[in-house]
Amino acid sequence: MNRRSFLKASVAGCAATLMPTFSLAKSDDGFFELTAGKGQARLFGDDGGLSDLWLYNGRLPGPEIRVKRGERVRVRFLNKLDEPTSVHWHGIRIDNTMDGVAGLTQPAVKAGESFDYDFVAPDAGTYWYHAHTMSWNQVPRGLAGPLIVEDDVPAFDPALDITLMLSDWRLDDNGVMETASFGGMHDFAHAGRLGNWMTINGVSMPDIPLQKDRWHRLRLVNSSSARVLDLAPSRFGARVIALDGQPFETPRDMDGTLQLSPGQRMDVVMRPEETGAIPFETMTGQPITFATFKVGEASAPDRPLMLPARNDLPEPDLENARELPLDMAGGAMGGMRGMMGSRADMQRRMQEGLFWAFNGKGGMDDTPMFSSERGETIVVESRNDTAFAHAIHLHGHHFRVLERNGRKLVHPDWRDTYTTVPDETVKIAFVADNPGKWLIHCHMLGHAASGMMDWFEVG
């Protein structure tokens, strides 16, 4: 992140007020209509240029799709881009044919064509949707939006239930999205396509209006394609209530920082006691402010804090689990050490742009990483033998994170995407109960495109 540009914007005093996410209404026949097409936005604020983006319904971020737990969701998707695309509903335990993975669960939707997505959203929480065809190119151009599944009894006034899509961008000196480096092999082999600028709901350095003495729920989504955010909720007075959509038993004070990796979500609650300004920062390196909470007087009396109810996720049966390895290797800076095969193999992989591997294999073919009986508990022990962090996402399922570096975690939280840092081992467990072919991949989208992607099958 470029601290100088941040300062420039704050000195100019051009902070704009946060735009709340636009909530998509259903059409008369009960469909949400979602169209991918070209559009533009000023990512750097008023004094930056217009960037050419790819957007859903012309909006940045894409419109918020908001449904109730258990609701049938029908989305009529139209592709007005010049290339094929598809839509993935990240974190939803979805029917496999609706998962949106081009080439695995559906053919890509060609330019000019449409596709009806039709699924049930079984779990309440904060989710998102994004392109899943050439995602390394389509997502960082803007094809992402929030998907909120409401609790049976929504506990917050809509003005206090705030979705914040955090995205980073690589901007040039005019504040315009740089495009020449899309698909660059250097990024793929390193940390991915890191940006130098952040927006929240498409707004640069926004002021986020809050009300004094009232409980707010902030739904944070990291839709960046590579940027890990190190957030410190306690510094802005917030407590964490859910990760990746799945609520905790009680709100948790987090000392220090909590990583929000690409694809992950974090729900926090906060009740500011003073009017005034609170910086919203990422602690990567030194604290960098990318928004300001502006606390004003309350417009109505507060309601007691009501926490989201737990979702009915299948509990792993650890006694009868099957254990599988996930060895991550590859990448620049010494990570090639864990790559298997001969020197000639290695050279061929590099020429194909496959810098990364899961269990010695770069990229996907017809053989799944594993096949499972329906209902079987799978424990995956992953080892990050690379010089970079990764955010591993499983489609169609949620898992518990049990252990890090051999130590049992106090809170084996449910997630759909977990972060792993260099040399770390992480053990997760889940019940493979959703039939179909599912992806497992790094959500640093350049890594996924260059080898960190495979699939598994549930019978």
| Contact residues: Cu ion, CB under 5 A | 390, 442, 444, 447
The minimum distance between CB 139 and ligand C2O, in angstroms, equals: 8
The minimum distance between CB 96 and ligand C2O, in angstroms, equals: 13
The CA distances from residue 422 to 190, 197, 288, 329, 340, in Å, are 13, 25, 24, 10, 18
Residue 390 interacts with, from ligand C2O, Cu ion, none (CB under 5-8 Å by kind): Cu ion
Apex CA 108: angle with CA 105 and CA 109, to 5°?
Answer: 125
Which residues 6+ apart lie within 8 Å of 285 measured at CB? none
Count of residues near ligand C2O by CB under 6 A:
10
The minimum distance between CB 63 and ligand C2O, in angstroms, equals: 18
Using an 8 Å Cβ cutoff, are 362 and 451 in contact?
Answer: yes
87 binds ligand C2O (CB under 6 A): no
Cβ proximity to ligand C2O: between 140 and 272 the closer is 140
Give the binding range for ligand C2O (CB under 6 A) out of 15-23, 79-87, 239-247, 435-443: 435-443
Apex CA 444: angle with CA 3 and CA 43, to 5°?
Answer: 40
How far is Cα 429 from Cα 413, in angstroms, rounded to an integer? 11
How far is Cα 270 from Cα 212, in angstroms, rounded to an integer? 10
Place of tokens 């049976």: 152
How far is Cα 187 from Cα 173, in angstroms, rounded to an integer? 20
How far is Cα 139 from Cα 221, in angstroms, rounded to an integer? 14
88 binds ligand C2O (CB under 6 A): yes
The minimum distance between CB 332 and ligand C2O, in angstroms, equals: 23
The minimum distance between CB 155 and Cu ion, in angstroms, equals: 36
227 binds ligand C2O (CB under 6 A): no
Structure tokens at 310: 């737990």
Cβ proximity to Cu ion: between 53 and 444 the closer is 444
The minimum distance between CB 44 and ligand C2O, in angstroms, equals: 26
Query: Which of 444, 2, 445, 9 has its CA nearest to residue 203?
Result: 9
Question: CA dihedral defined by 318, 324, 330, 334, rounded to 10 degrees?
Answer: 70
Residue 439 interacts with, from ligand C2O, Cu ion, none (CB under 5-8 Å by kind): ligand C2O
Using an 8 Å Cβ cutoff, are 239 and 57 in contact?
Answer: no
Q: Which position among 264, 441, 451, 458 is part of the footprint of ligand C2O (CB under 6 A)?
A: 441
Cβ proximity to ligand C2O: between 441 and 447 the closer is 441
Which residues 6+ apart lie within 8 Å of 80 measured at CB? 35, 36, 37, 38, 111, 112
Phi, psi for 73 (deg, rounded to 5):
-115, 120
Over the range 296-308, which residues count as b (16 or more CB within 10 Å of their CB) and which as e? eeeeeeeeeeebb
Tell me, residue by residue from 241 to 280, as one string, x for binding to ligand C2O by CB under 6 A and - for no binding: ----------------------x-----------------
Torsion over CA: 447, 449, 450, 451 (sign): positive
Tell me, residue by residue from 103 to 142, as one string, x for binding to ligand C2O by CB under 6 A and - for no binding: ---------------------------x-x----------
Cβ proximity to ligand C2O: between 355 and 438 the closer is 438
How many alpha carbons lie under 13 Å from residue 181 in its C-beta half-sphere? Answer: 15
How many alpha carbons lie under 13 Å from residue 11 in its C-beta half-sphere? Answer: 6
Q: Please give the single-letter amino acid code of residue 339.
A: M
The minimum distance between CB 100 and ligand C2O, in angstroms, equals: 8
How far is Cα 172 from Cα 182, in angstroms, rounded to an integer? 13
170 binds ligand C2O (CB under 6 A): no
How far is Cα 130 from Cα 56, in angstroms, rounded to an integer? 9
Give the binding range for ligand C2O (CB under 6 A) out of 67-75, 102-110, 157-165, 436-444: 436-444
- Note the maximum CA span of the chain: 69
Residue 88 interacts with, from ligand C2O, Cu ion, none (CB under 5-8 Å by kind): ligand C2O
Cβ proximity to ligand C2O: between 292 and 419 the closer is 419
The minimum distance between CB 211 and ligand C2O, in angstroms, equals: 33
Give the binding range for ligand C2O (CB under 6 A) out of 12-20, 199-207, 382-390, 439-447: 439-447
Structure tokens at 309: 């109810």
The minimum distance between CB 417 and ligand C2O, in angstroms, equals: 7
357 binds ligand C2O (CB under 6 A): no
Residue 393 interacts with, from Cu ion, ligand C2O, none (CB under 5-8 Å by kind): ligand C2O
Q: Which position among 177, 439, 444, 449 is part of the footprint of ligand C2O (CB under 6 A)?
A: 439
Cβ proximity to ligand C2O: between 339 and 389 the closer is 389
Place of tokens 């294999």: 361
Cβ proximity to ligand C2O: between 9 and 164 the closer is 164
Residues that bind ligand C2O (CB under 6 A): 88, 90, 130, 132, 263, 393, 395, 439, 441, 443
